[in-house]
Structure 1
Amino acid sequence: MTAMTPANDAAPDPLRIAYSPCPNDTFVFDAWAHGRVPGAPALDVTFADIDITNGVAERGAAAPGSSELDVLKVSYAVLPYVLDEYALLPCGGALGRGCGPLVLTREAGVDLAGKTVAVPSEKSTAYLLFRLWAADTLSGGVGEIVVMPFDEIMPAVRDGGVDAGLVIHEARFTYQNYGLHRLADMGEHWEATTGLPIPLGAIIARRSLGPDVLRSLADAARTSVRMAWDDPEVSRPYVMEHAQEMDPSVADQHIGLYVNEFTADLGEDGYAAVRGLLTRAAAEGLVPALRPDALAFP
């Protein structure tokens, strides 16, 4: 008698996802990460700052099939380098209005021409927005660019280590605690010159997962954020657990600023903003040009 091979009823391996511990990401993904989104794939979550996930995505794009992660939160600035291997999900990311990066200085009204500016990364959306702003407003151009960890930038500006700093996220709400001044708002400049929302962080997934899985990921992300909106208190423990001792009121401001209609669906304006940013950045020689269908979702 031939032995029967038992059916393989084992659950599929969880999808490997990486996003930041920032309140907007933990708020968006709380329901999905904790198995409360019906029918959604299980997740194996890694917390990583966006400069780390940008690097993972670039390495995965350079060696297809080698990525240790299936889904990542990355900067929109890295998309031109990775879209052959990864697809942009039409939801889950961070775009908005009034939420752009800031340039901070010790003294008000500093002329940045020729000055040293600290930035969190040269492959970040904040950096692209800064360079586009500088091209439009600084006839002499900036001087040295110094890359340093995000949490070291405001102390470095305060202590005179650099002339100015480019900051993101909760620094919008806390920079005055360091005695710093807002020299310019990159988001205000972007919105004034384009009329479009500010593209900041994107959710991407490996194209090799296939169209059906990619669509299921988008559905899960949309459902997860809507569940968070429906009952924000459910996500609060997860948000505050990873908020790095952030004051709860700052965490709430952070979520209110970065989680919005574009998180649920990029929509026409969202896609226009992403393409507009990357097209203008390519024209300045900051990133490679996108191919026409690069942002299309399966």
Structure 2
Amino acid sequence: MRERPQSFPSVALAKLVQKGRKITYGIVQPGEFVADGVILVRGRDYSAGWRDIDGFMRVTPEIDAPYKRSKLKPGDLVLTIVGANTGTVAVVPAWLDGANITQTTARIAVDSTKAIPGYVEQVLRSAIGQEAVYRFQKGGAQPGLNLADVEKFEIPLPPLPEQRKIAEILRTWDQALEKITALRALNIRRRVWFRTHLFTGKVRLPGFTGEWREVPLSDVLHEHGSKSTGAEEVYSVSVHKGLVNQVEHLGRSFSAANTDHYNRVLPGDIVYTKSPTGDFPLGIIKQSKIDREVTHELCHVAEPHHGAAFFELLDKVMPDWERRKQRLERAMA
């Protein structure tokens, strides 16, 4: 565990909970979804911020009744104790008052006379809390934490006013990051809309007219089939970053010992991988982007040969291409 400041005593989490509401997990077998039932909180419901109320699982009052010990109140903490998101923590909002939890979630009812719930949340989310999770986490196919171990988590405890101030500062940063994340998600949806509508010709940009036509992909691109010499660096295709060096991006190379059979990617090449992702179920398409060569290859899309039309087009899209070419050649010499 990392060192704590001398002035902050460390207190076991079990000593910070409300009397009669010890750290506990919830319903073991929730049964079928019931539209008007009791809300059941699972780790997925808060792993990326609280989901909308309509997305929660609900159980019958009969299933909920034996688990009164794990009922939630506003200000309680929920901590994922089983699965890939073990260690994820959140503060229960007022609109989840009376909800229950599953057996994969622990309820931590912090006594506000001893600690500020928002402060304890931030400690559990910090390196201090995550180190405790790592230390006590049990391995196997389903990683997890025992409640007895969660009770041992040590919380550095400054005076209550200082706890409150620390929680306020960190929560302000959290809210700012949440807004940035939401804005990014909105911009991604807008980009998807533009791609979906502009490429069909059904929505036209102002000032543009004329008919759209469809041609076979082979009319504008060809697979050159150049093979690796074995000396090139091995790159992977990333959804968000395009072509990335495996060692730099992933920490190590996943390539075979002999890469002679790998395809060589030239500057400006369009690269396709069949590996599906959630956003790209049919695979990923990216372009290798390097200054002049990118423009060179983009011109090839419109004019596949190095004739007069090719250089005429190159002059239009990059008038200083010859200077760039000389600079690139000097750098490669």
TM-score relative to the length of structure 2? 0.22
Is the radius of gyration larger for structure 1 or structure 2? 2
Q: Could you say which structure has the greater relative contact order, defined with CA pairs below 8 angstroms and 6 or more residues apart?
A: 1
Richer in helix (by share): 1
